[in-house]
Amino acid sequence: MDMEELVRQQLVALGENPNREGLVKTPHRVAESLKFLTRGYRMSEEDVINGALFQAESDHMVIVKDIEIYSLCEHHMLPFFGRCHIGYIPRDKVIGVSKLARIADMFARRLQIQERLTQQIADSLMKHLNPLGVGVVIEARHLCMMMRGVEKQNSFMMTSAVRGCILQSSATRAEFFNLIQSNARHT
């Protein structure tokens, strides 16, 4: 059964008439929307990185903050959204800066939980960059918690994943967290 037919059946199960004017094209629109929102399943890390790894003699922390992320919670298929902060300490190569955002987006555009998303980004960077260390922090708002259930409008969730020297050295870990918190904006 195709996605459009499933959406039509869902509309009927909700008590709607999928043939009424406002809903006639909804099954098609929802199917296209879900394909777009879950496009990360059809992407690979290698395709996203696309060779954008460059030799560099640098062992200083590289941080990209406030990368917007949008995902769908795997438990309710409701959106969660927020900001991702990524830092790494190169060993002998750096990655094109836009690729950090693209890696975060690739994993976010799957049915997810925030905890796994944070881990996947960190693990991907460790695998492809072989850096001295990686740190990833995500702060996000979850509509499954805001629109239903406990209905807490001002809540947001923070997760972190640290690897290598950022995990092993309390001073390096403190530097990472201090840098991402400087002038931090909350979603």
The percent of residues in the chain predicted with pLDDT above 90, rounded, is 87
167 close to 129: Cβ distance less than 8 angstroms: no
Q: Taking the CA atoms of the chain, what radius of gyration do you get in angstroms?
A: 19
Residue 116 is predicted with a pLDDT of 98
Three-state DSSP state, 68 = strand
Share of the chain above pLDDT 70, in %: 98
Q: pLDDT: is 153 or 33 the higher one?
A: 33
Kindly tell me if the per-residue pLDDT of 187 is higher than 70. no
Mean pLDDT of the chain, nearest integer = 94
- Return the domain boundaries, the chain: 3-37, 51-181
pLDDT for 128-157, tens place per residue? 999 999 999 999 999 988 888 888 888 899
- Reported as a single tens digit per residue, the pLDDT across 4-23 is 999 999 999 999 999 999 99
Q: List the one residue out of 84, 83, 85, 88 whose CA is nearest residue 62.
A: 88
**What is the reported pTM?**
0.92
CATH fold of 51-181:
GTP Cyclohydrolase I, domain 2 (3.30.1130)
Beta strands 157-164; 133-142: pairing state = antiparallel
Contact 78, 142 (CB under 8 A): yes
- In this prediction, residues 58-74 reach a mean pLDDT of 95
User: Does residue 186 carry a pLDDT above 70?
Assistant: no
Residues annotated as catalytic are 73-76, 114, 142, 144
Beta-carbon contacts of 58 under 8 Å, excluding residues fewer than 6 positions away, are: 90, 94
Q: According to the model, what pLDDT value does residue 148 have?
A: 85
Strand order in the sheet with 111-112: 111-112, 62-73, 79-89, 133-142, 157-164
25 phi and psi, to 5 degrees?
A: -95, 0
Question: Mean of the pLDDT values across residues 114-125?
Answer: 98
